[in-house]
A and B are shown apart, each in its own frame.
Chain A
Amino acid sequence: MAQHWRAGAAGLAVLGLTLTACSGAKVGDSTSAGAKSSGGKCGTFNLAVNPWVGYEADAAVVAYVAQHDLGCTVQKKDLKEEIAWQGFGTGEVDAVLENWGHDDLKKKYITGQKTAVEAGSTGNKGVIGWFVPPWLAKAHPDITDWKNLDKYADNFKTSESGGKGQLLDGDPSYVTNDAALVKNLKLNFKVVYAGSETALIQAYRTAEKNKQWVIGYFYEPQWFMSEVPLVKVNLPSYTTGCDADAAKVACDYPVYDLDKIVSAQFAKSGSPAYNLVKNFHWTNDDQNTVAKYIAVDKMSDDAAAKKWVDANRDKVDAWLK
């Protein structure tokens, strides 16, 4: 009998739900649809999002503008660089917004397979180098000169560095000459691969908090700099061509002019989104602002982009010309 009772109760519950439902709003008859319909000229815009917050900031703003000012349907695709470039040929990816001097990929996809073309600078200046936490630079100001590094090598020793000082490197997709640099500058250091950006940032965060000795690879623009402003160590200064032979590098990294790459197909399509990507241009401060909204203030990509776009309408209008 208990079973009977249960069936009856279920029936009543359903009846109740049906009755209360009559007053609800129906799907599709409200104005909740987000994107306003465009003239259909833009269509779908496939934007690769590479895994670092600075890039996420670029993508957030471009996607927001493409969606709200041009009426594009933006498909964001979370991909590592190598995979994203692969997508140019197959039509899965239209644009990569922040390329860090990947000459190997340019050679393969732009001059080789001819599936990609350059779309100009983002305006961001990429700085790569060796950084120490601020407390350390303050306590030992001479540490910012590479010639003094050996003096402190013992302090940088860890369980991983085999008796030498440890130079911490991060994600394998970074552009890095560190192993060659250590060798050619004859430093008593060993490169230890943390293996991910997360590991690197956490190492600096702990080091600053507990006043530990850490030196490692890092880069700007980067949201983490607004939390812990790392200090750059000066290596022998960069001159054109000093990094031509990867095995013999003994100079600092060049300042990268970060640029945009789009698929060849997309460049010819006449999509207004292509013009937006081509014209997109801003500064490191702009990017750091949006990156901070996302990483530190934990805003959604869209909300962060809206906040910045509303405050910088003039810049956005220039991209849309």
Chain B
Amino acid sequence: MAVAADATAPVATLRRKVSRPMVVAGILIAWLVLFALLRGRQTLTLAAADLTGLHRWLNDLNDSIGANRNSNPIFLYFFNEIRLVIDNLVTFVQSLISQPTGTRPVPQIGWLGVVGITGYVSWAVGNWRVALLAVAGFTFFGLQGLWQESMDTLALTLSAVIVALLIGIPLGVWAGLSDRFNRIMTPFLDFMQTMPTFVYLAPLTLIFLIGGASAVITTVIYAAPPAIRITAHAIRSVPETTVEAADSLGTTRTQQLLKVLLPMSKRTVVMGVNQTIMAALAMVTIAALIDAPGLGKTVVQALQSLDVGTAFNAGLAIVVMAIVLDRVTTAAAARTEAARRTGDGLLKWRRPLLAAGGIAVAVLVYLSHTYVWAAEFPGSGSTGSHIASAADTTTTWLQDHLSGLTNALRDAITNGLLNPFQTLLTDSPWWLVGVTLVALGAVLGGRWAAVTAAVCVGLLVGTGVWSDGMTTLASTAVATVLVMLFGVVFGVWMGRSALVDRLIRPTLDAAQVMPPFVYLVPFLALFGATRFTAIVAAVVYAAPVAIKIIADGVRNVPETTVEAATSAGCNTWQIITKVQLPMARSALTLATNQGLIYVLSMVVVGGLVGAGALGYDVVAGFSQGQLYGKGLAAGLAIVLLGVMFDRITQAAARRTRA
């Protein structure tokens, strides 16, 4: 859409390209001058316990839902039915692998059966290498002493993924076929992914009651969007020519979908499944706050008594589960690709082997159903306590030896960068900040980005938490700057060397999957309950994404260009700054975009460690009835900030590419 603005003035393009940074600088200078003049006026501050009319109205809405849930037909015939179906699904999966049922003191399938099934399925859909990894990973849960917790987590994850795919794939196919539906869905998907879960935990338990069903629904809300987006993308990426060829053969629309579009997009759809599983696992600890069983509960409980070791042990199990599921689905995607290319001719032993494996697994399942030794994981899980005490020792050492350094770093960044920037944002009149944001949107992203910015600013004011929003914006911006710093340094390093890539990548994966609750305690010890702690937590979560994207961009710079530069006598530094980074510019913008969205998704976690502002409002809304409406408004404000920056950066990215 930004292209339209450009196209109107082709002659002016050159001039505008030269002057754009100057216009930005001009806007910023005007802001600074006006800030100096108008400081402290019309800042729309609201104290922690104060409410606006909107907040009170939301409270009343919440109360009336609670009071009428047993008589309202929407509940009796709609929500309660959904709840019933999902509850049955969860209970069924739990009774299979994690919870005792009826008179049985153990679930239907014991550890041996689960490990057998996992290995077999991984081998069948992937290859024997991931099967080995899966078996090792699952056995590790038992050795950690977390077998049942892991299975509870797996049961919830599986149930949520099943529901998410049942909803997500059809919607994704629809969005893939219809541009109009795709346009309608996109804002909803943005909303579902950016709205902090804390905001809807309380209403969800109100509607779907406490327990498995609510936990699964929370997870589905967060995990379904990737499935929808990626399926739509897959359908769209099927080559035009193939579709036309099918058309000329006289296929109906249904045939086209079933015989051409879906089979050809299978590999990408499997990647969507992968993303959905990862998103579901990210919800494990949050869902524990409404009594979802499993590893998340262990993490949350350990946090109450500041037991870093136990929390780390459970967090590690989540990481291992994520790695296993990720590698298995990735291998499955590769296999569908390979199968499509080679056909089934080579694999004539596959069928008998599958059958033999199936029988073997059936035996294992029978054994684990019947005998105690195969049903309950043997041993006391002493590996877990070793891991826990090692983690404890490490954190204590770090806390004792690094806190001088970390405090200095915190004070430097807080006083040098965060405080001035925050003052500028919170002490300027609201309309001045609003106008600046809209103007920046117009210059960087074009007309539509400016309109989006204007709408978002207006709605932000309407939420009544403008001032908190600006405080959060300041921390978010500083965190994003740090993310990009790490992104460029490590991304370039990884992009230039395959070995470095292979060494660093597992750490990045772990940092993305490890529940933030696990590292909150060590960070609190190192940095205190401050905004900076929240920034560090956000950087740990968001930097891996930025690093991966930039590494990818740098690697995609054509070999020949780099060689040409080398032969022209450029040194390494020049190659990086003059060739590789400029050519990876679109990767840099994408990294900024994703980095910012990921940082925003950590705002609530930041509220738990002293960041205050919107994160605290959201947590408070979840904890206190009279602050419920304010929490909801704060959640909306986070979404609005996310949407505004996403649209501006994306439009800016389209412009730089154009």
Contact = CB atoms under 8 A, between A and B. Distances in A.
Interface stretch (A188-196, A254-262, A279-287): A188-196
Given A105-B625, A172-B624, A90 B69 contact: yes
Interface string B331-371: 00000000000000000010011001101100110010111
Contacts of B625: 82, 104-105, 108
Interface stretch (B161-169, B299-307, B438-446): B299-307
A198 B307 contact: no
B103 interface: yes
Interface stretch (B178-186, B607-615, B642-650): B607-615
B596 interface: no
Interface string A164-175: 000010011100
B206 interface: yes
B382 to A, nearest CB: 14
A266 B16 CA distance: 73
A128 interface: no
B414 A159 contact: yes
Nearest to B371: A24
Nearest to B292: A78
Interface stretch (B218-226, B259-267, B518-526): B518-526
Interface in B365-386: 367, 369-375
Nearest to B310: A298
Contacts of A32: 105, 372
B104 interface: yes
Contacts of B520: 196, 198-199
B286 interface: no
Which among B367, B524, B531 has the greatest number of chain A C-beta atoms within 10 A? Answer: B524
Given A25-B373, A82-B623, A199 B363 contact: no
Given A27-B369, A113-B67, A195 B623 contact: no
B582 interface: no
Contacts of B608: 195-196, 198-199
A56 B300 CA distance: 13
Interface string B271-313: 0000000000000000011110000010011011111001000
B528 interface: yes
B612 A11 contact: no
Contacts of A139: none
A14 B112 CA distance: 12
Interface string A38-79: 000000000000011100100000000000000000000111
B532 A159 contact: yes
A192 B529 contact: yes
Nearest to B530: A160
Nearest to A109: B66
A133 to B, nearest CB: 14
A24 B105 contact: no
B247 interface: no
Nearest to A247: B49
Contacts of B356: 7, 10-11
What bracket does the count of chain A residues touching chain B fall in?
35 or more
Contact of B303 (A21, A198, A200, A298): A198
A92 to B, nearest CB: 4
A113 B66 contact: yes
A87 B210 contact: yes
Contacts of B105: 27-28, 32-34
A206 interface: yes
Contact of B529 (A13, A14, A195): A195
Interface residues of B, number: 82
B147 interface: no
B191 interface: no
Contacts of A30: 372
B82 to A, nearest CB: 15
Nearest to B47: A179
B304 A53 contact: yes
Secondary structure call for the B interface: helix
Contacts of B353: 3, 6-7
Contacts of A296: 305
A14 B374 CA distance: 13
A298 B307 contact: yes
B411 interface: yes
B373 A24 contact: yes
Nearest to A291: B305
Which among A83, A171, A206 has the greatest number of chain B C-beta atoms within 10 A? Answer: A83
B81 interface: no
Contact of B210 (A21, A92, A105): A92
B202 A83 contact: yes
A52 B525 contact: no
Nearest to A55: B304
A208 to B, nearest CB: 12
B406 to A, nearest CB: 11
A240 interface: no
Contacts of B70: 89
A79 B63 contact: no
Interface in B180-226: 201-202, 205-206, 209-211
Nearest to B110: A27
A262 to B, nearest CB: 16
B367 A21 contact: yes
Contacts of B525: 202, 205-206
B374 A21 contact: yes
Nearest to A294: B305
Contacts of B301: 56, 78
A86 B206 CA distance: 7
A296 B304 CA distance: 11
Contact of A159 (B410, B521, B611): B410
Interface of A: 3-4, 6-7, 10-11, 13-14, 17-18, 21, 24-28, 30, 32-34, 51-53, 56, 77-83, 86-87, 89-90, 92-93, 104-105, 108, 112-113, 158-160, 168, 171-173, 179, 191-203, 205-206, 210, 223, 246, 294-296, 298
Give the top 7 A-B pairs by smallest Cβ distance, nearest first: A172-B620, A173-B623, A295-B305, A194-B529, A24-B371, A202-B524, A199-B529
Given A10-B360, A160-B414, A206-B399, 13 more contacts: A14-B359, A17-B363, A21-B373, A77-B210, A83-B205, A159-B411, A172-B616, A192-B610, A196-B520, A197-B304, A198-B306, A202-B529, A206-B528
15 contacts: A3-B349, A3-B353, A17-B363, A18-B363, A24-B373, A27-B369, A79-B289, A83-B201, A86-B205, A90-B209, A93-B210, A192-B612, A196-B520, A198-B608, A205-B525
